[in-house]
Amino acid sequence: MSSEARRPPLQIELKIRRALGGKAGWNGVAVQLAFAAVLGWIGYEIISNASDNLEKQHIAAGFGFLKNNAGFDVNQTLISYTGSDTFLRVFVVGLLNTLVVSVVGIVFATVIGFIIALCRLSPNWLLSRIGEIYVEVIRNLPLLFQILFWYLAVLAALPNPRQSISLFGIAFISNRGLVIPSPVGEGGLVPFLAMLAFGIVAALTLRIYARRALFRRGQVIRIWPWVLGLLFGLPLVSMLLFGRPFTLEMPQLKGFNFSGGARVIPEFVALAVALSTYTAAFIAEIVRAGILSVHKGQMEAGSSLGLSRGTTLRLIVVPQAMRVIVPPLTNQYLNITKNSSLAVAIGYPDLVSVFAGTSLSQTGQAIEIIAMTMGVYLLISLITSAVMSVYGWRVSRSLGA
């Protein structure tokens, strides 16, 4: 009997698999090379076709148009801007407007979502029903409808500036937005901001130290007097030494509108409120699911230690639930940024409205403008995902996962 015949069946099978695997590997490489060649050909055809079309329409390809004058105004800018500025300046203005409404939406959606989730889990029947009604109503209405509702049915129904609603005589609400006092920097502004920043960093450091002392040694450290001193005492010392950091420019009614002060346009308010309340309904369900994923014995253990329900949730249950909450919460944060592009429906000057809309119609540089807009949204999403991934990793590590 030959040695091959005496070889155990398992070894013969492995030998056959290795032989077939080698051939399959070469076949797989050939298929991938062919697929890459097809993709390259498709890309070449797209670029060639786009170049021919641009040449026929006498449109120069490239990003040189960014240096041209825009020739139109924007009704909300976080930086100085006039109609004689360049399209690059328009791009920056739209980007900043998108970022500010996204950040505001993320902050308020998170706060509202956690509150609604705790209401739904509350043993109080009324709070639980209120939370349930909120979630079921808000998340089942289209976001665009909610944006239009806040803009047309709520804010547009406000009185005109001459009959505006006064808030203690310093702020005014009308159908043209919210007008508030505007700070004007003085000589003591820089040291004031430096002291405030140092106080915030020191307060956060104290909080981290106190939490570690609580969880590692069971030692309760009272830090709130120190936090108050850092956050309010240091800026006060700065004001006494270097003078007041700023003065307030009060809004005044002149003619048919207000002058002076800072104005929050109604388009921003409608978009921020709609994004926050809509996304909060989904975040509430995510938080509720995360809290329910923690074994109920954790609540019982906290009660046995004499902790209140709120303290048990804050120190024991929610930190454990964050491991479940963070991944789907990241998706909602990404949705807020992308859904902010619906601002074009009410005229809020975000990136899509002023750059991918008005600038594109004036220049005809569709490929470049759309590519820049897509790249910005992709970059924002990647940065948000990276930040949340790092936070999720820290949460898992702190729980010993």
The predicted-structure confidence for 315-341, as pLDDT tens digits, reads as follows: 778 788 888 888 899 999 999 999 999
pLDDT of residue 95: 92
- What is the full DSSP assignment across 21-90? HHHHHHHHHHHHHHHHHHHHHHHHHHHHHHHHHHHHTT---SSGGGGSB-----S--SS---TTSBHHHH
Among 147-156, 214-223, 237-246, the range scoring the smallest mean pLDDT is 214-223
Distance of alpha carbon 166 from the chain centroid: 31
CB 385 within 8 A of CB 334: yes
pLDDT of residue 57: 66
- Identify the top-confidence range among 14-18, 206-210, 327-331: 327-331
Q: Is the pLDDT of residue 306 over 90?
A: no
CB 164 within 8 A of CB 175: no
pLDDT of residue 274: 94
Task: Please compute the mean of the pLDDT values over residues 215-236 and round it to a whole number.
Answer: 80
pLDDT of residue 228: 85
Question: Two tokens at 223?
Answer: 């830090």
Residue environment code for 148-180, b if the CB has 16+ CB neighbours within 10 A, otherwise e: bebbeeebeebeebeebeeeeeebbbbebbbbb
pLDDT class of 70 with cuts at 50, 70, 90: confident
Tens digit of pLDDT for each residue in 103-117? 999 999 999 999 999
pLDDT of residue 216: 75
Tens digit of pLDDT for each residue in 272-284? 999 999 999 999 9
pLDDT of residue 381: 92
Tens digit of pLDDT for each residue in 338-396? 999 998 888 888 888 888 888 888 887 778 888 889 999 999 999 999 999 988 888 77
Provide the residue ranges of all domains of the chain, joining segments of one domain with +.
3-56, 87-162+265-398
Q: If you average pLDDT over every residue of the chain, what do you get? A: 82
- Higher pLDDT: 215 or 189? It is 189
pLDDT of residue 99: 93
pLDDT of residue 303: 75
Task: Please compute the mean of the pLDDT values over residues 146-156 and round it to a whole number.
Answer: 89
Q: Is the pLDDT of residue 25 over 60?
A: no
Which DSSP category does 176 fall into? Answer: T
pLDDT of residue 281: 94
Helices and strands per DSSP (H, E), number in the chain: 15, 8
**Gyration radius (Cα) of the chain, Å:** 29
The topology under which CATH files domain 87-162+265-398 is MetI-like fold (1.10.3720)
